[in-house]
Amino acid sequence: MKKAILFAFAPLLAACDMEPTTGAELDLRDREEATLQSAPLADPIVARGAFATEADRERFEADVLPSARAFLAYWAEGGLSVPHAPARLFISPPRGTSATEALPQLYGENIFDDLRALEAEVASAPSNRAAIERIDAFTCERPPLHRGFLEDVEEHADNPDVGPADIAQALRRKHEELLGPDGTFSFGTDNGEFELPLRRNCSYILLGHSTQPTRAHPYLERDVVNHELGHALHYGLWLASGPLGERLSTTANEAIADILAHVFDGDPCHGKVLDEGGTPVDCRRRMDVYEQSVSDAFWGFGRADHETGQSLRQLIWTLREEVPADALRVAVVDGIAAVQVALNQIDAEPLANVPIFDDEILATRYRFVREYEAASAFFHAVCARLGDAPPACGEHAQRIGDPRLAMREAWLANAPTSIGRSGVTLADGRRVAFELEGALIRQMTVTLADGEQRSYPGDPDLGFPEAERESTSGRITLWFPEPGSTAPDAKVGWTSDGELIAR
Ligand SMILES: [Zn+2]
């Protein structure tokens, strides 16, 4: 499979550097053997594109690809590499390009036979799962062809009324449409995208074609391409260190991808905004400014985004002035590694990976904690590596924020809950409600059918009751101490399936 991929995606620029041969004293036969044994250095990037114009292709090859190769070489010295090397780039044709024109340029002249062969393989697959795996492998080799179709089929994988023959039929219809007179093919409009499919047996980068006059085609923006390669590099490190959780930090991912791209190119401006004449007049993001801590930015957006890690970008930009480039490169790689450790610790917490009580408060808390801890871990690891603390490293509170403060101020506004204030009435007439103070769960109140109320305070230091997760059932219980009980460990618990229990 790997070999097939390498053949199918021969580099656009056939620049295979040979290993230098130093054996001047070898006779001819030895020399031939030496040449055979020393494989050519593989190109770190292979690219396939359906470019709109020949000039676009030339600019991509002359300008963007060399920058991308130099980018990978720069970070390779810090120990970073892409998963599933070589990095694969796919460049979209303009929106509306006919599929019969685009597909051979992207996936080779045999693509139409390949589509027929896929139909046959899916039709004869022994199970839906086997059919899905076949389509998945096809998409891995020719991304993003059939990526959406694959998602649709996944939804029906366990439906007893659907079999491989039905999937094959749907696939045939899809192909007829795609290759018919109105069939078009393009992807990633106005953007770049690094994709690591859930099964994680391949990865690739999609580079779209711009539809707006205010931005260049993403495949012609060196920093956009390097940003996507940056995603490949941080995933490369995490996958090699494993395990990689499914829930990651958008704040850390996006800041890191920009940091890798712009520490390399030295330009603080990410993604040029163009005027009508095509002259750069602004930046879509900047490395050298930040206004809010990660905490404030998260609560301001109500979620994590490209913007929530500005203080991390600006931290690294400031450190460029304060420490040597080689030291900063090593520190950034340390920072990336620390993010994975922090996220894995959160994943190990009992409430981290389950929908709890359908309770948006708790879900948001964990989303927030994830972003906060990942950003904080990056900050601490970078600064720890730099030793004699540069001034910017003394600014954890300003740059990352105080999670409890931020939560107190913004929790309710961002995460209304059905359980929190309104409470839930049980079948026996008791009513359970939580008393919230800003972000924190202060106490649980149980109102009996006769109106009598009992209050169960949470832990005042944690701002959160003790949480317990049963590993087999996945049931979660929030435990509150029973006030005034003679047994010191007596507790009352509220379970994720809506029961009030005691221990
Ligand atoms: Zn990104």
DSSP 421-437: TT-EE-TTS-EEEEEEE
Secondary structure (3-state) at 215: coil
Give me the residues near ligand 1 (ion), CB cutoff below 5 Å. 254, 257
- How many A from CA of 153 to the centre of ligand 1? 27
How many whole angstroms separate alpha carbon 103 and alpha carbon 301?
39
Before 481, cis peptide (omega within 30)?
no
How many whole angstroms separate alpha carbon 402 and alpha carbon 404?
6
- How many A from CA of 214 to the centre of ligand 1? 19
Q: 49, 336, 382, 89: which is closest to 229 by C-alpha?
A: 89
- How many A from CA of 258 to the centre of ligand 1? 8
- How many A from CA of 458 to the centre of ligand 1? 39
- How many A from CA of 228 to the centre of ligand 1? 6
Predicted pLDDT at 34: 39
Q: 381, 123, 340: which is closest to 240 by C-alpha?
A: 340
C-alpha distances out from residue 11 to 24, 45, 61, 415, Å: 31, 7, 10, 49
The residue behind tokens 């939580």 is 434
- How many A from CA of 256 to the centre of ligand 1? 9
The residue behind tokens 């810090």 is 78
Quick one: CA torsion of 219, 220, 224, 227, rounded to 10 degrees? 70
DSSP 29-70: HHHHHHHHHSPPPPPSEEEEE--SSHHHHHHIIIIIHHHHHH
The tally of CA atoms less than 13 A away on the side-chain side of residue 48 is 22
- How many A from CA of 232 to the centre of ligand 1? 10
Predicted pLDDT at 207: 97
- How many A from CA of 424 to the centre of ligand 1? 41
How many whole angstroms separate alpha carbon 89 and alpha carbon 181?
28
- How many A from CA of 260 to the centre of ligand 1? 11
Predicted pLDDT at 346: 77
- How many A from CA of 254 to the centre of ligand 1? 5
Predicted pLDDT at 416: 31
- How many A from CA of 241 to the centre of ligand 1? 21
Predicted pLDDT at 418: 43
- How many A from CA of 227 to the centre of ligand 1? 6
- How many A from CA of 127 to the centre of ligand 1? 36
Secondary structure (3-state) at 488: coil
Residue pLDDT tens, the chain, 503 long: 332 222 223 222 222 323 333 333 333 334 334 344 444 567 899 999 999 999 999 999 999 999 999 999 999 999 999 999 999 999 999 999 999 999 999 999 999 999 999 999 999 999 999 999 999 999 999 999 999 999 999 999 999 999 999 999 999 999 999 999 999 999 988 999 999 988 888 999 999 999 999 999 999 999 999 999 999 999 999 999 988 877 789 999 999 999 999 999 999 999 999 999 999 999 999 999 999 999 888 877 767 899 999 999 999 999 999 999 999 999 999 999 999 999 988 777 655 444 444 455 566 667 788 899 999 999 999 999 998 779 999 999 999 987 655 444 433 333 334 455 567 788 888 888 877 654 456 788 899 888 899 998 876 655 566 767 676 765 667 788 888 888 878 999 887 667 889 98
- How many A from CA of 335 to the centre of ligand 1? 17
- How many A from CA of 295 to the centre of ligand 1? 20
- How many A from CA of 253 to the centre of ligand 1? 7
Ramachandran angles phi, psi of 146, nearest 5°: 70, 15
Sort strands 204-207 and 87-91 into parallel, antiparallel or unpaired. Answer: parallel
As a three-state string, the secondary structure of 59-120 is HHHHHHHHHHHHHHHHHHCCCCCCCCCCEEEEECCCCCCEHHHHHHHHHCCCHHHHHHHHHH
- How many A from CA of 68 to the centre of ligand 1? 16
- How many A from CA of 149 to the centre of ligand 1? 24
- How many A from CA of 269 to the centre of ligand 1? 15
Asked whether the beta carbons of 136 and 192 are under 8 A apart, the reply is no
For 17, the token pair is 């550097």
Predicted pLDDT at 443: 82
Predicted pLDDT at 168: 97
Q: 353, 350, 368, 346: which is closest to 467 by C-alpha?
A: 350
- How many A from CA of 250 to the centre of ligand 1? 9
